[in-house]
Structure 1
């Protein structure tokens, strides 16, 4: 009976959300068993705000940044926040459709039902992130300040990084969690091929600038 309820057209987006949660949890679980989270690159896609919530004088310059702070985005790995949102959206939507159907004899159209479900999911997401941040030990979360990655060694993993054409790279933070970021040469004359190890020296918005590790005589 419950499966038939999920399969109704009016419940389709909410059922899909819960299915996606199951798939994401399975993939992430397999990745963790293998020693690396499968969705660590999502943390590098956060907007250009300082997400170090332990800093008392933290300033957030934009309305978007304030909204993300209200949602507690960045206190836990992004994949956890995504799962919390999808679960909240799916369950709230199904509950809403059930209540509306019981009162009026028919549920809302799916497109209309998504609006209140999405709105109510926002504070639930913020609360869920806060709870997870309190539960997950700090050394097991990959949510760190973006600037804390400066000064660390990174590896170019996708394409060739050159002036005005950053490439994807990966770097490990102080908790040994892997972050996928965009890297460009700090020196316009440098070119970093895939597989090259570089030193991150500064950041501008979502782009990290690096120098070849030989420049400072660094080694592995």
Structure 2
């Protein structure tokens, strides 16, 4: 089996698994030190604005008409993959895992049935189809249960003046932190926060008042009034 995994026709599938493990390890180490690799990558990526309301979760196997949804082929493909619904690192880990495992299984089946592995390009075709399908299916399922963060500009502006709790990392001028905030409708959001004053450090667990919005980052100050404290259920959940 080890011979198969590291053979010339299979090693790229094996490499995908090792890259996935490295990304997962970096995410865990980052969380230990109060950093979120997912958050940093998502903030570095441009807004894709894939807002089409495609009901792929209901029937992932159905033929989706991209033109009918009002999307071009690239935007339609990104929507099908659930880009923007789950953190990009999570989506990449799912894709690498399914790509690596499927590729190895395809080559194992070929070696068992025909006595020889397939050329890489030939194994790549079924592997790519299965791994992208699995990634889309899994990402949409995860997106259903993940806390929803509104990216609409008006929705984000409405969060200014709300009190949030820093949930991951310490916020400084050079480094944002993740914060949890509940809007006036009771919907919970997870946003990235930096201090409003450059010489201020906001610590994980602190209550902060969102006072501004710069691109995708909220600026915040320490919560100045106890009566502005978030709802008790927000703090305890």
Q: Which residue of 2 aligns with 1:20?
A: 19
Aligned residues: 174
How do residues 1-220 of structure 1 correspond to structure 2 at under 5 angstroms? 2-44=1-43, 45-46=45-46, 48-51=48-51, 61-136=71-146, 138=147, 144-145=150-151, 147=153, 149=156, 157=174, 174=181, 175-178=189-192, 200=213, 208=215
The answer for unaligned runs of 5 or more in structure 1 is 158-168, 180-194, 202-207
Q: CA RMSD in A?
A: 3.8
Runs of 4+ in structure 1 over 3 Å off: 50-54, 146-157, 169-179, 198-201
> Could you give the per-residue CA deviations for residues 163-191 of structure 1, whole angstroms, max 9, x where no partner exists?
xxxxxx96867534439xxxxxxxxxxxx
Which stretch of the first structure deviates more once superposed, 86-95 or 115-124? Answer: 115-124
Alignment partners' CA distance in 2, 1:3 and 1:199 = 55
**Are the aligned partners of 1:51 and 1:75 in contact in 2 as well (CA < 8 Å)?**
no
> Could you give the per-residue CA deviations for residues 124-167 of structure 1, whole angstroms, max 9, x where no partner exists?
1111102222343x16xxx642635568899885xxxxxxxxxx
Alignment partners' CA distance in 2, 1:112 and 1:90 = 15
From the superposition, tell whether residues 155 and 79 of structure 1 become closer, same or farther in structure 2 (CA, over 3 Å).
Answer: same
Q: Which has the higher contact order (CA 8 A, sep 6+)?
A: 1
**Are the aligned partners of 2:38 and 2:90 in contact in 1 as well (CA < 8 Å)?**
no
The answer for unaligned runs of 5 or more in structure 2 is 55-68, 161-170, 182-188, 200-210, 223-237
TM norm structure 1? 0.62
Q: Which residue of 1 aligns with 2:163?
A: none
From the superposition, tell whether residues 50 and 68 of structure 1 become closer, same or farther in structure 2 (CA, over 3 Å).
Answer: closer
> Could you give the per-residue CA deviations for residues 83-123 of structure 1, whole angstroms, max 9, x where no partner exists?
11011101111111111222222111223322321122111
**Are the aligned partners of 2:39 and 2:87 in contact in 1 as well (CA < 8 Å)?**
yes
